[in-house]
Structure 1
Amino acid sequence: MLAVTDEDRVRVVTLDRPDRRNALTPTGLDDLRDAVRGADQPVVYVHGAGEAFCAGADLDTVRSLDRKDGEAFARRGQRTMNAVADTDSVVVAGVDGAARGGGVELALACDVRVCTPDATFAETGVTLGLFGAWGGTRRLERAVGATHAADLSLSGRTVDAETAREMGLVSRVTSEPRAVADEVAGNDETALAALKRLLGADADREETERQEAAAFGDLLARDPF
């Protein structure tokens, strides 16, 4: 499900489940958390194998959850996204192809988000009677503002790469997203870590995540599938 390659200044983490569009299971979430936390390099580059970046939570897993397990799954995802956000390494997301639901949340947890012209983004949870509960409600609003966050979350619509850049969902559209990771890695490691802590500070995160997990469990209690 996950492939990790260590280079001198960059750890490359590949979501490697292309037959499922790199959807994340509970084990996949744990593996991703460990891969990011275990990096000794100043930069971690996260991307997906195949035609998608990440389809989000594995729907076969989600369909099997009751209210209690749904809340626990949301908390598990939050821990992984927080590990991405809080690790000392700068995490760069290179989005190529589809980012959906939890895949958007994963990108949002990264410090730098870039994409190829073929990338598309959608918060599709609402179309399934759910929503992204891995910290995405807070991070999406911080990234694109309240107006765009409401639009994306409540409509479930898909936006292309250029629209994502205009919104602030990504900073660049480039045919070589990996080159951005190398660009960041060329800078001073101590300064990168300090900047990451300052740019990512979010005092409101804990309460938002508690509410997300509870609401996600409530929705699953209705058996939306």
Structure 2
Amino acid sequence: MIHVADGPNLRTVTLSRPERRNALTRDGLDDLADAVAGADRPVVHLRGEGSAFCAGADLDAVADLDRESAVAFAERGQRTADAIEDADSVVVAGIDGAARGGGVELALACDVRVATPAATFAEPGVKLGIFGAWGGTARLPDVVGRGDALDLALSGRTVDAERARRMGLVSRVVDDPVAVAREIADNDPAALRVVKERVRDDDAVDAQAAREADAFGDLVAENGPAIAARRER
């Protein structure tokens, strides 16, 4: 259910189970983690096939779990989200259609989230007596703030792409998300990797500043001739 296509500087990872709105099973979660973490391209574009980005966990796979198995399933989803967040590549979520529950959580783990006008977002778990447990309760308030995070998670309501943009859940609403991934992939791979590392760094500000300066020095040392050539044009 995970399709991978590699092009110059860009890997496209497609959730390909449209008949189930790209809902993920345990094997699907593992395959997704491998596809993103194993990328040898500087940018990964994560997308869904058909009318949905991802409906989250396959409820058929969840309904019959006992407590121990349910904990293990949640931990598997968390590992997949962590693999996306910690990938060396910049991961761009291109959200077209419905993102629900775990689909929102996987998008939250990506570095950049863009949506088409047809995208919608919801955390409907409370309607079923569950909630998003793939890291969403931690990442959602970091991205949209505690107030909007609680509103989404407690109401189960659906928001459209423009509302998601105003909340900060996505950074752009575009007709073609892959164009954003290609725009990012056109940049210097080493610089992309360093910027991701620096922005993701949650250490104390002074420690971050020192690492930021060191990383900048490394890039200038590596790219100095190219910078000088561009300046002279």
TM-score higher than 0.5 here?
Answer: yes
1:194 deviates by 1.3
Could you tell me which amino acid in structure 2 is paired with residue 163 of structure 1? R
1:146-183 Cα offsets, whole Å, 9 max, x none, are: 11000000000000000000000000000011100001
C-alpha contact (below 8 Å) 1:16/1:22 kept by paired residues: yes
The equivalent of 2:181 in structure 1 is: 181
Report how many residues are paired.
203
**Runs of 4+ that moved beyond 4 A:** none
Residue 54 of structure 2 is aligned to residue 31 of structure 1 = no
Could you tell me which amino acid in structure 1 is paired with residue 5 of structure 2? T
C-alpha contact (below 8 Å) 1:91/1:112 kept by paired residues: yes
- Partner Cα distance (1:74, 1:48) in 2: 21
1:39-96 Cα offsets, whole Å, 9 max, x none, are: 1000000000000000000000010111101110010000000000001100000000
The equivalent of 2:191 in structure 1 is: 191
Could you tell me which amino acid in structure 1 is paired with residue 138 of structure 2? R
Q: What are the equivalent positions in structure 2 for 1:149-160 lying under 5 Å apart?
A: 149-160=149-160
- Secondary structure of 2:22's partner? coil
Q: What are the equivalent positions in structure 2 for 1:111-190 lying under 5 Å apart?
A: 111-190=111-190
1:201 deviates by 3.2
1:202 deviates by 4.7
Could you tell me which amino acid in structure 2 is paired with residue 61 of structure 1? A
- Partner Cα distance (1:200, 1:149) in 2: 20
1:186-212 Cα offsets, whole Å, 9 max, x none, are: 111111111112222357xxxxxxxxx
- Partner Cα distance (2:198, 2:156) in 1: 31
C-alpha contact (below 8 Å) 1:86/1:197 kept by paired residues: no
C-alpha contact (below 8 Å) 1:46/1:94 kept by paired residues: yes
Could you tell me which amino acid in structure 2 is paired with residue 112 of structure 1? V
TM-score, normalised via structure 1 length: 0.89
- Secondary structure of 2:118's partner? coil
1:120 deviates by 0.2
- Partner Cα distance (1:59, 1:167) in 2: 28
The equivalent of 1:95 in structure 2 is: 95
1:135 deviates by 0.6
| Unaligned residue ranges in structure 1 (runs of 5+) | 204-225
RMSD of Structure 2 on Structure 1 (CA): 0.8
- Partner Cα distance (1:110, 1:37) in 2: 12
Could you tell me which amino acid in structure 2 is paired with residue 4 of structure 1? V
The equivalent of 1:70 in structure 2 is: 70
- Partner Cα distance (1:14, 1:117) in 2: 19
The equivalent of 2:226 in structure 1 is: none
Could you tell me which amino acid in structure 2 is paired with residue 33 of structure 1? A
Identity %, equivalent residues: 67
The equivalent of 2:48 in structure 1 is: 48
- Partner Cα distance (1:153, 1:190) in 2: 37
